[in-house]
Amino acid sequence: MEPASAPPRRAGVAIAVLCLTGVLTAMQQTFVVPLLPELPDLLSTTPTAASWLVTATLIAGAVATPVAGQLADTYGKRLLIMGCLCCAVVGSVVGALSTHIGPAIVARALQGIGVATIPIGIALMRDILPPRRLPFGVALLSATLAIGSGAGLPLAGLVARSYDWHLMFWLSGFLGVVLLVLVPLTLPRSVVRARPSFDLLGALMLGAALTAALLAITKGADWGWTSWATVSCVVGAVVVFAAWVPVERRAPNPVVDLRTLLQPRIVVVNVASTLVGFAMFVNLLSTTQFLQMPRSTGYGQALDVVETGLVMAPVAAVFGALAPVAAALIRRYGAEAVLLCGCVVMAATYLARIALDRHPWQVVAGACLVAVGTALTFAAMPALVMSAVPVHQTASANGINSLLRSVGTSLGSAVVAAVLTLLVVTTADGTFPSEDAFVVVFVMSAVAASAAAVLAGVLTIMRRRGP
């Protein structure tokens, strides 16, 4: 069944509401990060336990994204967007009432489910937008992941400085309720559906495997990379994934259609997505840490959390500003060329940042240029996925692409933490990451972006050769 386009005015409203949903759910991923140093005291717990407030959100989002994608293709995308928003709102209320670590972790896990709204929203756009408006809508909604993540940092810092930290949960809950009212009023029903069945066993096995894999990636540094817990998670993930594959092959409506997923173009796009996710998150994480290092390190700018968030605001703004540019470039030159251009910009900028880091404006300019490249890649990848899959598999295919990008961000976080812990310098103010540590992560990110550029070139060759 072919999708029906929404009227122009309603299409514009739909884009706005979906983007607001994306910003909110992305913002919820990062707004506790500035509070992490204080949360052990606020929740009467340990720093290790407090770190689960970030880990729980990441794992819940990763597990929910492919499952919600299949449910959206089967039962309706608008319905699943509302379901994910409901989980996020409940999580916000639980978090706002939490005074102990247990309920707070549950709250953060529920909020993590909300991130599935972004790939589902991209799929809904394919159903309701006319072809000429689809690249712009997809580019803008893809950018909300970085816009919301970037906005969450300074907003949380400002709120925590002047008010009770629970206010962030109340604010996100209120905004979630507003969006729950707007979504059914402004988003049309999608007429594109898959077969009405749900692969429960496949979803449970995929969730278990992803949880084990992400625990190994995110907690390996704390547990020890050769510890029993880390090794057990890795082995468990491999075993469950291996058992999951034949289950999916036999399922009448699998949570992940392996025949579609293993198409050469989809494989290349998804690997590139993982590499870009790595390079994108290194930009956000390493830049904020670089700016906060004390001047005694010889390179730090000694900014506090709020100042860093405000200085980094242009990075988030770049994503929104580049959306119409990326859409125009995709229409003119194709998504493969835009992906290639974005990866090259990221790689070249990371190499330039090795030398240009002596002044805050240089650091922020470098971060903004990386964001330019990232915005181009984020706009191109959903377009590449949608061009290679049937309409009724759009949400699940975008969900897998988003999932692999999240795996890349998790790897980026783990690598940055490991390198900045390994290469240190001792000053009068204490022990901090050395400047060489940042050079190492910049080089690694340049390599990741370069590898993604090679894959973009492969996609270009595939397109020219045809089916």
**Which residue ranges make up each domain of the chain?**
1-188, 199-254, 256-467
Q: Which helix (H) or strand (E) holds 432?
A: strand 430-433
Note the pLDDT of residue 467: 55
Nearest CA to 334 out of 369, 280, 342 is that of 342
Residue 426 forms beta bridges with which residues? 431
Which architecture characterizes domain 256-467 according to CATH?
Answer: Up-down Bundle (1.20)
Contact 200, 80 (CB under 8 A): no
Nearest CA to 406 out of 320, 318, 281, 268 is that of 281
Alpha helices in 251-334 (DSSP H): 258-261, 264-292, 305-311, 313-333
Q: How confident is the prediction for the chain on average, in pLDDT?
A: 85
Using the predicted structure, report yes or no on whether residue 356 has a pLDDT greater than 90. no
CATH code: domain 1-188 is 1.20.1250.20
Q: Categorize the per-residue pLDDT at 1 as very low, low, confident or very high, splitting at 50, 70 and 90.
A: very low
Query: Alpha-carbon torsion 88, 92, 93, 94, what sign?
Result: positive
- Residue, of 145 and 101, whose pLDDT is higher: 101
User: Environment class of residue 242 by beta-carbon count within 10 Å: exposed (0-12), middle (13-18) or buried (19+)?
Assistant: exposed
Using one digit for the tens of pLDDT, what is the confidence trace for 391-432? 777 777 888 888 888 888 888 878 888 888 888 888 887 888
Using one digit for the tens of pLDDT, what is the confidence trace for 237-264? 999 999 999 998 888 878 877 887 888 8
Over residues 12-33, mean pLDDT? 87
Same fold: 1-188 with 256-467: yes
Out of 10-14, 295-299, 450-454, the most confident range is: 450-454
Nearest CA to 187 out of 362, 15, 388 is that of 15
Q: What is the DSSP letter of 297?
A: G
